[in-house]
Structure 1
Amino acid sequence: MTAYRLPAGGLIDRSHTLAFSFDGKNLAGHSGDTLASALLANDRLLVGRSFKYHRPRGIVTAGPSEPNALVTIGSGVRRDPNTKATVAELYDGLVATSQNRWPSLAFDIGAVNGWMSRFLSAGFYYKTFMWPAAFWEKVYEPLIRRAAGLGRTDLSPDPDSYERSWAHCDLLVIGSGPAGLVAAL
């Protein structure tokens, strides 16, 4: 038991322990835990880094309005980035990693941005990195996007099949009357 886990009560099944990992460290939780509650129970208060200055961030809320605890769940082609730890149900074998940090969550090189925050106003890079112009697309922009990006997804084809699909179309023609035929043409 830790300082962040009550000895009794709650909606978790304390008789069923689940193993999971966060940033490569093996941890344990209970059936009914969310990833956030299991991390807090394992004394993991630091969950991510802020978007711009890479300041340390922990869990703030207990629901879907969580602004800080964005993690990547899974690995390889089944990696799901930007998942809120407060709504991700814990399961046995879950693999979660923190986001917006390099090389690790505890020691993030991007945190140097916090020391220089008074000089880094919103959009400063649009004026600062203008010259030479050829460097913008090849050097500056990729570095800025990498530093400010959140989760990364795998671009390989999805190996899973789904019962339903969320698809959009530009034009849907129903019926074969004059208006439908003209729309189809």
Structure 2
Amino acid sequence: MSQNFRLPTGGRVNRGRTINFTFDGRRMSGLEGDTLASALLANGEHLAGRSFKYHRPRGILSAGPEEPNALVGVGADEGHYSPNLRATQVELFEGLVAESQNRSPSLRYDWAGVNNLIWRFIPAGFYYKTFMWPRGAWTKFFEPRIRAMAGLGRAPKAPDATTYAQRYAHCDVLI
């Protein structure tokens, strides 16, 4: 893929080694030393996420751990999946599989983006007063859908497949 948005010189990347990765099912390439965020920008992918409530388009805002918009899920299979990672902190490696979060069906065409058209009629906390009747509908219908709209990444569906050197059978703090 063309990297028209990359500067021809400078930076802390190895321009002699290309790394292939996948983002939302599309094959892309980056350079050794890139983060996922810098590789996405170099490939012309400026849309990195959606806002929580109104699902407005969001791009990459920063270059470090304070990045609020580019949250991704990383993992080739369910046993190695990690949600809610900042794209600015994910180092690119060969075969990386990443997906955007908080979108349906895709990042570019998120159906929940229609909320942006009716934002004037959706005040903060409206759902705590609006969907309270009938009582059973709140817990079984409205609340699960509202939580899904405002959620972050999904939890892995399989046990952790990674092998660790140590295993702790107790916790330090339990809340």
TM-score normalized by the length of structure 1: 0.87
Aligned position for 2:11: 10
* The 10-residue stretch of structure 1 (81-90 or 114-123) with the greater mean CA deviation from structure 2: 114-123
Aligned position for 1:58: 59
Aligned position for 2:71: 70
Aligned position for 2:126: 124
Matched residues, number: 170
Query: Which structure has the larger Rg over C-alpha atoms?
Result: 1
AA in 1 matched with 2:92: L
Question: In the TM superposition, what is the alpha-carbon distance from 1:3 to its structure 2 partner?
Answer: 4.0
| Contact 2:52 2:151 (8 Å CA) reproduced | yes
Q: How does 1:75-114 map to 2 (within 5 A)?
A: 75-114=77-116
Aligned position for 1:168: 172
Does structure 1 residue 39 correspond to structure 2 residue 37? Answer: no
Aligned-pair identity (%): 55
Question: In the TM superposition, what is the alpha-carbon distance from 1:119 to its structure 2 partner?
Answer: 1.4
* The 10-residue stretch of structure 1 (149-158 or 47-56) with the greater mean CA deviation from structure 2: 149-158
For the residue of structure 1 that corresponds to 2:47, the secondary structure is coil
Unmatched runs of 5 consecutive residues or more in structure 1: 171-185
Indicate the RMSD between aligned Cα atoms, in angstroms: 1.5
AA in 2 matched with 1:129: F
For the residue of structure 2 that corresponds to 1:110, the secondary structure is helix
AA in 1 matched with 2:46: L
Q: Distance in 2 between matches of 1:108 and 1:99?
A: 11
Does structure 1 residue 115 correspond to structure 2 residue 117? Answer: yes
AA in 2 matched with 1:110: A
Instruction: Describe the superposition over 1:108-132 as per-residue Cα deviations: whole angstroms up to 9, x where unpaired.
Output: 1111111111111121101110011
* The 10-residue stretch of structure 1 (115-124 or 14-23) with the greater mean CA deviation from structure 2: 115-124
Q: Distance in 2 between matches of 1:2 and 1:16?
A: 14
Q: Distance in 2 between matches of 1:41 and 1:124?
A: 40
Instruction: Describe the superposition over 1:9-32 as per-residue Cα deviations: whole angstroms up to 9, x where unpaired.
Output: 211011111000100000000100
